[in-house]
Structures are given as structure tokens and as C-alpha cells.
């Protein structure tokens, strides 16, 4: 009985750590014309890596795949539009969490860039 209880407690403790976090994304791309896209979805954290697929806010399609490696305040990412079936592009940037969070205000932000694209991700870290 103790063994079953121990396994159950272990599963309950691990589950929240593996649960994803809700993020919002904006992507601004320079091509023949400026293109702005917004998405929302869950990114799962595994150690220093955040990754997942976000859904477009306009049509609801899951179209934005991102993998971000965090190293202190530095962030490296691979981003791709699933509908374009490409290999993706790499971006670098910064990671920032509120220095003095309050119960109601504790933002977490990632800003990424390369020569033709800007991606901003944000979430309210107060929410699990």
C-alpha cells in the first residue's frame, strides 16, 4: 500500500512540471511586404528548453512551431511555419522575467530576431 501511495504522489508531483505554459506570440516578417502574425498556445518546458506548436489567432490553425533554448538572459530558437513545410529559421535574442513580481503582475518575455524576422513571446508567469 505504501508503495502505491509513493508512486501516486510521485506522479502527482511530476505532472505539473511537465504541463505546458500558455504563451502569446507575435511574428513580424520582412519580405516583399511586412507580414504580422499573432498566435497563442502551450509551450512545454524541459530543463532549459521551451517548445511547442502555437495556433494562429486569426484562423485557429496550429501553424507555428518553436523550440527555444534558454541560457540565463540569452535565448536561441528555431521557428517554422508548419503550413509552409520549411526547415525553419534560427533566431537569437533575450529572455526576461520580472525582477520584482507581484501577485498580479509577473511577466515573462522572450524577444528573438534575425535579419528578416522579429518574434516576441510573452506570458503572465503568475499563472501556472
- Residue 2 confidence (pLDDT): 46
The pTM assigned to this predicted structure is 0.78
CA–CA gap between residue 18 and residue 101 (Å, rounded)? 23
- As a whole number, mean pLDDT of residues 59-75 equals 94
Annotation: CATH topology of 21-124: Lipocalin (2.40.128)
Task: Please determine, for residue 109, whether its predicted confidence score (pLDDT) is greater than 50.
Answer: yes
pLDDT digits (tens, 9 = 90+) for 77-96: 999 989 888 889 999 999 99
Domain ranges of the chain: 21-124
Given a contact cutoff of 8 angstroms between Cβ atoms, the answer to whether 13 and 25 are in contact is no
Amino acid at each position: 500500500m505504501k508503495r502505491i501511495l509513493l508512486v501516486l504522489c510521485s506522479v502527482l508531483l511530476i505532472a505539473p512540471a511537465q504541463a505546458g505554459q500558455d504563451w502569446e506570440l507575435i511574428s513580424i516578417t520582412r519580405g516583399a511586404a511586412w507580414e504580422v502574425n499573432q498566435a497563442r498556445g502551450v509551450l512545454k518546458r524541459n530543463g532549459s528548453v521551451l517548445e511547442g506548436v502555437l495556433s494562429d489567432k486569426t484562423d485557429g490553425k496550429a501553424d507555428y512551431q518553436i523550440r527555444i533554448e534558454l541560457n540565463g538572459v540569452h535565448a536561441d530558437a528555431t521557428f517554422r511555419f508548419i503550413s509552409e513545410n520549411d526547415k525553419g529559421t534560427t533566431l537569437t535574442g533575450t529572455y526576461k522575467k520580472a525582477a520584482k513580481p507581484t501577485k498580479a503582475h509577473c511577466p515573462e518575455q522572450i524577444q528573438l530576431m534575425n535579419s528578416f524576422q522579429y518574434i516576441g513571446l510573452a506570458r503572465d508567469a503568475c499563472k501556472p
